[in-house]
A and B are shown apart, each in its own frame.
Chain A
Amino acid sequence: MESTRYHKLISEVEPTEMVLNMGPQHPSTHGVLRLELITDGEIVKEVIPHVGYLHRCFEKHAENLTYQQTIPFVDRLDYLASMNSSHAWVMGVERMLGIDGDIPKRIEYIRVLVSELNRIGSHLIALGTYGIDIGAFTPFLWCFRDREHIMNMLEWASGSRMLYNYIWVGGLYYDLPVGFEERCKEFIDYFKPKMRELNELLTGNEIFISRTANVGVLPLSTAINYGCSGPMLRGSGLKWDLRRVDEYSAYPELEFEIPVGKGEMGTVGDCWDRFKVRIDEVEQSVGIISQCLERLQSDLKRTKEFDPRAKLPKKIIPKAQDFYMRAENPKGELGFYFITDGKSEIPKRVKARGPSFCNLSVISEISRGVLIADLIAIIGSVDIVLGELDR
């Protein structure tokens, strides 16, 4: 065991170099991430991430609970985007049961609506905290102010602020509350100018650009080889969005663009590009929400007879099979791999492929030789959530 790369790196530290621990309580690591740095003065020679501080045995839990009971645990993976995570899980189970074609359109649209709201919320955190990492405090407060509206709306729908348990296998917990669509429309009208303001404040800011452009450049081939997905991959210039590639749920009927990094301020795939992709994605999500609201207020209108629990299966026992379900989360490709035996309500094995896990693994590759201050900018631009990284 002593011959691992890690032991080799540590044992070969020169007397002029210093081993520095960043984390697990370092604020700019966005959670309990510990980075072991080998530094030469201000220059980072090597970054060794140590993860697992928030490991909560998700996969072991999932082997002991039914599919429906696991949804609250799925919500706790990426706790900033619970709706998106449970959407992915639920779609996986529905496809295994073969009922994915029977889900009423209204339910699909509500699922997409709440997922996109949650995507905006997640991106607002990413953008706001990124500002703080770089030294800009105002965007953080603005982002949290706007995110609060989203939290309140989702709480109104599901009863919880962050961990919703709203999307169920075969349906929803409840229909949207009366007046939700109107309130959501108000929010969109309020949010559009705020988004423009945020854009003016940060995206074109000269200090911000000089801190992020040409920093942490991630070439496309490296990104693919390291399994990066989501804004990380798109920031490197590849149009790859599972919402378009797999065309799941109601997305085929909705119009949206896939923003990619173009290297406007520096090189393609730098921190600024990843930031810009998130900004643009928020705009696209706003567009998706408007389209959903339009449908939900016209042909998919609420009716008295509509019951979001009508299609809930009494017993969820999928046929014996292996199934890998992937979906586009705010952070990237979230995958669930199920192995079922066809007899029990409990899966034999579940593997969660968290986007943050794969996205973070590239960090030692792209931060060799950068300054310590730039490393902070790089971590922020990866946008990790430790709940999902450690599972």
Chain B
Amino acid sequence: MTFEEIKNLLTDKFGPDVILGEEPTGRQPALIIQPEAIAQVCLELRDNDKTWFDFLASLTGVDYGIEENIFGVVYHLASIPYKSSLTLKVRKYHDRNREELPSFPTVSEVWKTADWHEREAFDLVGIRFENHPDLRRILLPDDWEGYPLRKDYKVQEYYNGIKVD
């Protein structure tokens, strides 16, 4: 299925508002999906036998910079039967207040591999995934402060009494 056909399939199924935009730049065009719909869109793309994106290659949490204050998640889907791939993106404005993290629906029900990937995005970028079954830090210690891959990250001076360089 071509990129255009996938777009039509999604708008037919979920209405025209589901695709907020597209990034046709470079070799890997991406679809920007409405954040609330991402889990249903992924489920459809996985189960529809015309697309069959059964393999989630990678899931990345991104902080797009301090000027824009936009956080996003990038999904790299691959279809084993069709040998095709697709990039999906969701993004949201967030004012970086500490109490509430930017949050997106989880896709760990669609692909189990997303479970750990989302934990990693939560751990390093500070993105919350709604209804995630096990949202804990994964690579850093449980009592670490801050989210290192954020652009405004300042490392804590002391961790459990040990100076952090």
A324 at interface (Cβ–Cβ under 8 A)? yes
- The SS class assigned to the A binding surface is mixed
Are B133 and A226 interface neighbours, CB within 8 A?
no
CB-CB under 8 A from A240, the residues of chain B are: 80
Q: Are B83 and A245 in contact (CB under 8 A)?
A: yes
A326 CA to B76 CA, complexed, in Å: 11
Check A333 for interface membership: any CB of B closer than 8 A: yes
Nearest chain A CB to B155 CB, angstrom units: 10
Q: Which residue of chain B is the closest to A240 with respect to CB atoms?
A: B80
Q: Which residues of B contact A5 (CB under 8 A)?
A: 133-134
Q: How many A-B residue pairs have CB under 8 A?
A: 98
Alpha-carbon gap, A95 to B27, bound state (A):
9
| A353-B140 contact given A245-B83, A324-B87, A335-B76, CB 8 Å threshold | no
Is A390's CB within 8 Å of the partner chain B? yes
Decide if A238 is an interface residue (CB 8 Å cutoff): yes
Using A51-B139, A320-B25, A324-B28 as known contacts, say yes or no to A349 and B133 having CB atoms under 8 A apart: no
A322 contacts B30, C-beta separation under 8 Å? yes
Query: Interface digits, A12-43 against B, CB 8 Å rule (1 contact, 0 not)?
Result: 00000000000000000000000000000000
Q: Which of A1, A51, A225, A320 is close to B111, meaning CB atoms less than 8 Å apart?
A: A225
Q: Does A351 contact B58, Cβ atoms closer than 8 Å?
A: yes
Q: How large is the interface on A (under 10, 10 to 19, 20 to 34, 35 or more residues)?
A: 35 or more
Can you name the residue of chain B whose Cβ is closest to the Cβ of A4? B134
Verify B23–A6 contact, CB threshold 8 A: no
Q: How far is the CA of A227 from the CA of B54 in the complex (A)?
A: 9
Q: Please, which residues of chain A bring their CB within 8 A of the CB of B74?
A: 322, 337
Query: Is A391 engaged at the interface, CB distance under 8 Å to the other chain?
Result: yes
Cross-chain contact A6 with B140 (CB below 8 angstroms):
no
Looking at the assembled complex, report how far the CB atom of A273 sits from the nearest CB atom of chain B, in whole angstroms.
18
- Beyond A6-B136, A59-B149, is A361–B60 a contact (Cβ under 8 Å)? no
CB distance from A246 to the nearest CB of B (A): 9
Per-residue A-contact encoding for B56-67, CB less than 8 Å = 1, 0 else: 111010110100
Asked if B37 is at the interface of the complex by the 8 Å CB criterion, the answer is no
| B interface majority secondary structure | loop
A226 touches B149 (CB 8 A): no
A6-B134, A333-B57, A337-B74 given; A322·B28 CB < 8 A: yes
Enumerate A316-341 residues with CB–CB distance to B below 8 Å: 319-324, 326, 333, 335, 337, 339
Is A145 interfacial (CB 8 A cutoff)?
A: no
> What is the interface size of chain B, counting residues whose CB is below 8 A from a CB of the partner?
38
Chain A residue, CB-CB nearest to B114: A227
Query: Chain A contacts of B25 at CB under 8 A?
Result: 320-322
* A178 interfacial by beta-carbon distance below 8 Å: no
Select which of A52, A333, A335 is within 8 A of B138 by beta carbon: A52
With a CB–CB cut-off of 8 A, which chain A residues contact B116?
357-358, 361
Q: Which residues of A contact B76 (CB under 8 A)?
A: 324, 335, 337, 353
Report yes or no: B57 in contact with A335, Cβ–Cβ below 8 A: yes
Q: When A351-B58, A353-B58 are in contact, do A55 and B140 touch as well, CB less than 8 Å?
A: yes
Enumerate A221-261 residues with CB–CB distance to B below 8 Å.
Answer: 222, 224-227, 238, 240, 245
Assembled-state Cα–Cα distance A324/B85 (Å): 10
Contact of B139 with A55 in the complex, beta carbons under 8 Å: yes
Cα separation A44 to B58 with both chains bound (whole Å)? 30
Interface: B148 (CB within 8 A): yes
Q: Is the CB of B58 within 8 A of A323?
A: no
In Å, the complex CA distance between A333 and B113 comes to: 14
> Which 9 pairs across A and B sit closest by C-beta, in order of nearness?
A227-B113, A52-B139, A321-B26, A353-B58, A5-B134, A351-B60, A55-B139, A361-B116, A5-B133
A–B Cβ pairs within 8 angstroms, 19 of them = A4-B136, A5-B134, A52-B140, A52-B141, A55-B140, A222-B112, A226-B113, A227-B112, A337-B60, A348-B65, A349-B62, A349-B63, A351-B58, A353-B57, A353-B58, A358-B113, A358-B116, A361-B113, A361-B115
